[in-house]
Amino acid sequence: MIKIGIAGCRGLSTLQGLHDIEDVQITAMCDLSEEHLKNAAEKIGGDVKTFRVFEDMLESDIDAVIIATPMQCHVPQAIAAMEAGKHVMCEVTAGVSMDELFWLCETVEKYNKIYMYAENYIYAPKVQLVKEMVAAGLFGRPYYAEGMYLHDIHDLLVYPDGKTSWRSYWQCGKRGNFYPTHSIGPVMQWFPGDRITEISCFSPGVHNEYGVKQDSGTTMMCRTEQGNLLEIRTDCLSPRPHCMDNYLLQGTEGIFQSAQYGKGWSNGDFDRVSLRSHLTEKGAMDWEDLYNYKQYLPDRYKNATESQRRAGHDGGDYFIVEDFINAVRSGQQPELDVYTACEWTAAGLLSTLSVTNNGKTLAVPHFRPNMPLEEKKVIL
């Protein structure tokens, strides 16, 4: 039996997945709010123990921790958990400073515990479908991609009780692309074996009345080791409808473009592809439904049960939990390991320096096991 402790009530997004996996039990829950703890315990059911203090939960009988607290808590709590002998699955972002990322890697290596990055956007069926189409060569050689996270969060800058939210500081209290991995993660799935080596970030400045430093949109260009180019855009303060997952992939033989407005097929807004291998009768390229190629979906998505789909994102929220539990059972680090988490997070952290220095290009450290001390720095 694998016993799980959850830190932060946002971690209940994993609830259905954990309930559906055999020999897994949520035995502990931690949150600063007594009201949230009570509500969480009722949702979890069973004999779950509740804690106000994270370190107290670590002393209970648990094997692994799911960290879903505010982002400035992620690294201190992940380090404390691994020091206490617990495996960790951590929400995004991995950390809030470059030094934290180096500490995180060192801790995973020191204690040899499983660390998995809970970047659930890569588990979306369309992301996985495009990944398999890339592997099958349908897009030829991919060389350019876009990822956008457009989510107006100005109403989250202050809590309902009038107190200032942590988001006013650690997200919107700084410049640059503070929340990049929902965009970077999916598009990097389409460039297997590649890594981000340098970034430049640009913005139009601040054009809102909220009194925070965050730009009214940032565009970060990422160059990869294999010469590919990524355009990553985040905008969380401009007035606009919600658009949390807007992606594009261009290859030598075709293109993928995700739905953009949430309006559905009847309004012409759907996940689409255009491939040179599937020209029209007139020999031209045209759009067709991505799911015309659903035979390329991984088998576990094709065979997902209704309960697994109910976990969220058409099964994606179940499969990310399944991969974490499998990693704990096998002792093998998952695909979304600490080095991947730190690379994607570092791109965003470095964007703060880049955008405040007129788009200066900055190198992204090569996060890997036993990284030399002389490489654990920011090169200006």
pLDDT 10s digits, 112-128: 999 999 999 999 999 99
Taking only the tens place, the pLDDT of each residue in 300-349 is 999 999 999 988 888 889 999 999 999 999 999 999 999 999 999 999 99
Question: Please, which residues bridge with residue 2 across strands?
Answer: 24
The per-residue pLDDT for 10 is: 76
Task: Give pTM, 2 decimals.
Answer: 0.96
64 CB-contact burial (10 Å; exposed 0-12 / middle 13-18 / buried 19+)? buried
Give the length of the chain: 380
Would you say 215 and 204 are in contact if contact means Cβ atoms under 8 Å apart?
Answer: yes
The band of 242, judged by pLDDT with boundaries at 50, 70 and 90, is confident
**Model confidence pLDDT, tens digit, residues 268-309:** 789 999 999 999 889 999 999 999 999 999 999 999 999 999
Q: What is the 3-state secondary structure (H, E, C) of 22-62?
A: CCEEEEEEECCCHHHHHHHHHHHCCCCEEECCHHHHHCCCC
The per-residue pLDDT for 140 is 98
Question: At which residue do the structure tokens 């002393």 appear?
Answer: 59
| pLDDT tier, 4 (very low <50, low <70, confident <90, very high otherwise) | very high
Q: Which of 14, 72, 70 is nearest to 40 (CA)?
A: 14
- Point out which residues pair with 219 in neighbouring strands: 202, 233
Please determine, for residue 177, whether its predicted confidence score (pLDDT) is greater than 70: yes
**Structurally, what CATH architecture does the domain formed by 122-304 represent?**
2-Layer Sandwich (3.30)
Report phi then psi at 246, rounded to 5: -115, 115
| Beta strands 49-51; 2-7: pairing state | unpaired
| Band (265; pLDDT cuts 50, 70, 90) | low
Side chain identity at residue 50, one-letter code: T
In the 8-state DSSP scheme, what is residue 334? P
Q: Is residue 261's pLDDT more than 90?
A: no
Domain boundaries, the chain: 122-304
